Structures are given as structure tokens and as C-alpha cells.
Amino acid sequence: MVDLRSDTVTRPTAAMRAAMAAAEVGDDVYGEDPTVIALEQRVARLFGHEAALFAPSGSMANQIALQLVVPPAHELLCDANAHVVTYEFGAAAAIGGISTRTWPFAGGQLDVDVIASMIRPDGYWAVPTRAIAVEQTHNMAGGVVIGLDTLRALRGVADAAGAALHCDGARIWHAHVADGVPLAEYGALFDTMSVCLSKGLGAPVGSVVVGSAENIAKARWIRKRMGGGMRQAGILAAAGLYALEHHIDRLADDHARARRLADALAPYGVVDADRVRTNLVLLDLSKTALDAHGLAGRAREQGVLVSVIAPRTVRLITHLDADDAAVDRAIAVLSPLLAA
Ligand SMILES: Cc1ncc(COP(=O)(O)O)c(C=O)c1O
């Protein structure tokens, strides 16, 4: 099977497993796991922040961060297709008592003036805005990278409003590799970030919340309340440390493979290959006679797995376990299906 449904399907490599097996561990709820502590310090340093907290998933890391920057009965602004409002099952409201309001999705592009115009100050009996969240890279937009200038402008908007800026950086590594922006430069723009080790980086489990020492101390409480305190988690943190060491630069290979997929499938009118800069390829079937479930079903019969993310949209993601031969196979299977 060639599995291009997600970059979460990777399995730890032999070398990663060896690092996990050799990890020194302790009880992390007591703050005694040296490998978790090393991972947290490493990630904080990478992004130029004071502290970080290991979390079991990207969703929990996002939700911990949102609770840090938005008190109950206050508001978060994000785009209508952001992961935090599309795939996290109302957690911001259910767990944090947070209202969310969305700006229209524009393919991952941000209109900073529109966002600025949405901010609601205190004092009008309307829910006051406390934070703005962006996604880098943007999943539903097909791995779009938000440019540094736009992020800087958004930081200005947040500062003017006294609002915090959160980054769902599940794939911030890909933005860093695609645009060559140092991770610390991204870090300097955000109050809180969640960054994921178990997507492109290939670790089996784990995300990290990044922020100030004060916020991360609070985050530890929030994580425990959410049931996310882990014990000998150093085994998992060791995979994350290994991934940071060995799997960031190689993301360029995933990007090149995604671009090759897009170039091969572009003649069928389903993708603008020039928009594919990271590891995601969205196929828009709206100008074909195909629907996404039909295409995915027929590809599966021939051993190629893809994701259906909308009735006429299929997503392909390249990753650590999808080599050149896998991409060749996907092109060979999908091309005749799209041509039919
Ligand atoms: C952009 C983005 N944020 C957050 C997450 C959540 O990560 P997890 O599945 O580890 O909860 C995902 C998962 O695919 C994602 O794509």
C-alpha cells in the first residue's frame, strides 16, 4: 500500500526506536523525566522562547495554548477552516469556555485588515477578543506558507488590540524549510505556539506548547486537568529529540515529491502545481466528473490511499514513509483515474 492520507501514518525508524529504547526516563508528572525536560528545553530554545511543555497531541497542545491566552467568556479569532475550529470538536468552547469567531477562509491567505476590523474591545457587552490564531502551514489550504511580512503585520494588529497571537504550528517545520525562515524568527512573532513532532517529523506521538515561563507553568496545570500528564514519557520525548536532530532538513525531499505529484497531476486540471510548496497536495475535482469518495475508493483498490477532505476535494501528503517509488506508484494509479 502507498499511504498518502496523512503525514501522521509514519512509523518510527529503527534508529528512532533505538533512541527511544535507550532513553533515560523518570516520572514526568513529578517533573523528573530528564528526556522530557531535554526535549522541552530544546524546543523552547529553537523558537527563542523561555519554556515549553510536551503534550500528547497537537489538539491538546492547541487547546492548552488557547486556554493560556483566552479566558472563559472571551474570544478567539481564526479562519473558518482552521484546525482549532474544524477538527477539535468544540474543545475551545467545551473545555476553555472560549468563544470562537472566524474570518472567511481564503486559501490560507490572510487579509490583515479584515482581521483587524473584527477585533472587539472590552466594554460593549460583546464578547471581547483576546487572541488571534493562525496555522503555519495551513492544512486545509494545502500546506500554504504564510509569509513573514504578513505575520509581522498581524503581530502589529494584535499588539494594537492588546490581543495574543497563537500559532498552530503543527507543520511549522515545513514553513521553515520552504521559506528558509529561522524557527526563532517565527517564535518571536507569537505568544504561544503548538508544534508537532508526530507529523512531518515522524515521531510516533507528541506535540509541544511553546511560550513564556509563566505561561508554561500554567500550561502544566492545564495539561494535568485535561488528563494529559504522562509518566515515563521520556521514551516518547526521545523520539521527538531524534526527529528534531534528523528529520527537519529532509522535509525538503517531501516537498520535492509533493511538487512532483502536483506537476504530474496538473494536466488533469485538478491542481495548480505552483501553489504546492510543502508536503500537501489538494486535488480539486470540481471541474471533473469525479467525486472525492469515488476517486479515493478506486485508488484504494489499486493500493493507493488518499484522504477525502470535502465532497470534491482529495488530499495527498508526502512523508517519511513515502519514497520516490511510492510517488511514482501514486502518479501511475491516479493519472488514468483523473483522465477517465
Ligand atoms: C494543522 C494541524 N493542527 C493540529 C493538528 C492536531 O494534531 P493531533 O492529531 O496530534 O491532535 C493537526 C492534525 O492533523 C493539524 O493538521
pLDDT in tens, 236-253: 999 999 999 999 999 999
| pLDDT exceeds cutoff 80 at 124 | no
Residue with CA closest to ligand 1 atom 16: 139
Average pLDDT score over residue span 223-232:
98
pTM of the model: 0.97
Confidence class for position 102, pLDDT limits 50, 70, 90 = very high
Q: What percentage of the chain has pLDDT greater than the value 90?
A: 98
Residue with CA closest to ligand 1 atom 5: 58
Confidence class for position 340, pLDDT limits 50, 70, 90 = confident
Output the CA 190–ligand 1 centroid distance in Å. 18
Residue with CA closest to ligand 1 atom 7: 58
Give the pLDDT confidence score for residue 108 in this predicted structure: 87
| 81 within ligand 1 shell (Cβ under 6 A) | no
Buried b (16+ CB within 10 A) or exposed e, 57-82: bbbbbbbbbbbbbbeeebbbbbbebb
Average pLDDT score over residue span 6-34:
98
Output the CA 133–ligand 1 centroid distance in Å. 14
Rounded mean pLDDT of the chain? 97
| 170 within ligand 1 shell (Cβ under 6 A) | yes
